[in-house]
Amino acid sequence: MNANSFSVERLAGQRLMVGFEGTRFNKDLEYLIDDLKVGGIILFAGNLINPGQIKSLCKNIQDYAKACDQPPLFIAIDQEGGTVARLKDPFAQFPGNSKMGGAEDAVAFAETTARDLNQIGVNMNMAPVLDVVPKNFAGVMAERSFGHDPEEVAMLGMTVIKHLQKNKIMSVAKHFPGIGRTILDSHLELPDLDTEPFQLLSSDLIPFKAAVKQGVAGMMLSHIRYLRIDPDWPASLSSVVVRKILRSRMGYNKVVITDDLDMGAIKKHYNLATVIHQILAADVDIALICHKGPDTAGAYQLILNNIKNNAELKSGCFVSVDRILALKQNYIRVT
């Protein structure tokens, strides 16, 4: 299966990963999969009750996609350990990145988490966090980061990526190009980071370079505006950040995902039409919308309209969807 065989409607849907409400397969999921042809689903605490229920939900999602002649779906979750872990007891619990003691802990976390996710039908983990938090800095990522030493963050991150992916769980590194220096929470507002590029190169970007080398399946972009790199757009909407730095300079050729477009950093400052156009123009593969609402259908229609009416964006869409399909073929086995 390749993107050249897809209708524009299927191309558009593959560019979306979305959330939904409910704990069982329902009409909303039928609509997302059959009508909007979405490429992925993300699970949150409100979708989860127990292992059996989650396994049944994931199987029903994939079965319905197959019945609709759609590619298998990414089924993603945030399972970092510590403060961000959607799966609770009886699933394995870990204290989080800030308390990880070394490579042995990273291997244990990744292998155990991969086992749990495989058992329930989740195929993508939005982890690891690769943000470097300066020493003694009370930033928003202090509890979720591996620490202040970029080489240590890189080593632990590469270990997590390696052991998730060798166990067939796609790893998504976040939040490129690094939000460890920020205090303002992008869930609420749009942070500006006025840091010299050489500081990012000598610290923040080191773990992400390691992730590229390790072959990480996905890279999640931050909703931070890096004033010395692109003063006009946050990283998630920036051609400079994605095309020039991540794709061209760092050579990353796999899937790039926005952070949640429902967050205040985006929602309070940009209309949906602008957001979708920037995502497509910047060579971002997947728009992430985590909450049920009109933006999901709106984003699908905007992607569809853009690729119907702009030959350059349509050409880029074929490239993006081929990247998406390559990951699915490598990692997802649906029976």
15 falls within a domain: yes
Q: Are 143 and 96 in contact (CB under 8 A)?
A: yes
The H-or-E segment that residue 92 falls in is none
Q: How far apart are CA 221 and CA 286, in angstroms?
A: 10
**Tokens standing for residue 200:** 């990012």
332 falls within a domain: no
- Please give the pLDDT value at position 333: 86
Phi, psi at 43, each rounded to 5°: -100, 140
What digits encode the pLDDT tens for the residues 217-263? 999 999 999 999 999 999 999 999 999 999 999 999 999 999 999 99
79 falls within a domain: yes
At residue 1 the predicted structure's pLDDT band, cuts being 50, 70 and 90, is confident
User: Which residue range forms the structural domain that includes residue 35?
Assistant: 3-327
Count of structural domains, the chain: 1
333 falls within a domain: no
**Tokens standing for residue 158:** 């590469």
Statement: residue 266 has pLDDT above 90: yes
With 0-12 / 13-18 / 19 or more C-beta atoms within 10 angstroms meaning exposed / middle / buried, residue 226 is buried
Statement: residue 62 has pLDDT above 80: yes
What digits encode the pLDDT tens for the residues 119-168? 999 999 999 999 999 998 988 899 999 999 999 999 999 999 999 999 99
Tokens 């961000």, located at residue: 84
**Tokens standing for residue 182:** 């920020």
In the DSSP assignment, the letter for residue 72 is: P
335 falls within a domain: no
The H-or-E segment that residue 117 falls in is helix 103-120
Percent with pLDDT over 70 in the chain: 100
3-state secondary structure of 238: coil
110: CB partners within 8 A, 6+ apart: 159, 160, 161, 162, 163, 164, 167
Of the candidates 6, 221, 28, 15, the residue with the CA atom closest to the CA atom of residue 131: 221
Of the candidates 335, 329, 333, 332, the residue with the CA atom closest to the CA atom of residue 2: 329
- Please give the pLDDT value at position 239: 98
Statement: residue 48 has pLDDT above 90: yes
62: CB partners within 8 A, 6+ apart: 72, 73, 75, 121, 334
Q: How far apart are CA 19 and CA 171, in angstroms?
A: 19
CATH number for position 49: 3.20.20.300
Q: How far apart are CA 65 and CA 167, in angstroms?
A: 23
Statement: residue 215 has pLDDT above 80: yes
Mean residue pLDDT across the chain: 96
For the chain, how many residues are written? 335
334 falls within a domain: no
- Amino acid in position 51: P
Please name every residue paired with 101 in a beta bridge, in sequence order, or none if there are none: none
217 falls within a domain: yes
Q: Are 150 and 106 in contact (CB under 8 A)?
A: no
Phi, psi at 231, each rounded to 5°: -70, -10
In the DSSP assignment, the letter for residue 172 is: E
Percentages helix, strand, coil for the chain (3-state, rounded to 5) are 45, 10, 40
Please name every residue paired with 173 in a beta bridge, in sequence order, or none if there are none: 219
